[in-house]
Amino acid sequence: MNNFDFLFQNTSPVDINNGIAQRIRTIRKRRKITQKKLSELSGVSLGSVKRFETSGEISLLSLTKIAIALDIEKELCTLFSDVPYLSLKEIENEQKQKA
């Protein structure tokens, strides 16, 4: 599996999607689940599973269904949970929202 680094400076949206698709495909294959079986387990059409694995294109709802079917929804649920602040102003803005 290629090591896909989300922190790479010149990463395009397509590159990120393809990296996610590659990771999902690797997990699926590691668990010896066919695309057809993943489709059945997740309720996502076989065509959508195939398109996702080849192009990285998928709806967020379908990605969530696939993550649940592969028992990796926790990783999806923690996405963006530990995003560092970019400035002091950002911290102030968040504190104002909570007040």
Which pLDDT tens digit goes with each residue over 89-99?
999 999 989 88
Chain mean pLDDT for the chain? 91
Q: How far is CA 53 from CA 29, 30, 50, 90, 97, in A?
A: 12, 15, 5, 36, 39
Q: What is the pLDDT of residue 11?
A: 84
Among 44, 51, 43, residue whose Cα is nearest residue 25: 51
pTM of the complete model: 0.82
pLDDT (0 to 100) of residue 10: 62
Per-residue pLDDT tens for 27-40? Answer: 999 999 999 999 99
Residue 2 is assigned to a structural domain of this protein: no
Domain that residue 75 falls in: 13-98
In a domain, 4, yes or no: no
Q: Dig out the tokens for 38 from the structure.
A: 């993943």
Please list the alpha-helical segments (H only) found in 1-99. 13-30, 35-42, 46-55, 60-69, 73-77, 88-98
Q: Which CATH number belongs to the domain containing residue 55 in this structure?
A: 1.10.260.40
Cα dihedral value 66, 68, 70, 74, nearest 10: 120
In a domain, 5, yes or no: no
Q: Examine residue 68 and state whether it is found in any structural domain, yes or no.
A: yes
Q: How many domains does the chain have?
A: 1
pLDDT at 2 over 50: no
87: in domain: yes
Instruction: Pick the closest to residue 52 from 41, 68, 72, 38 (CA basis).
Output: 38
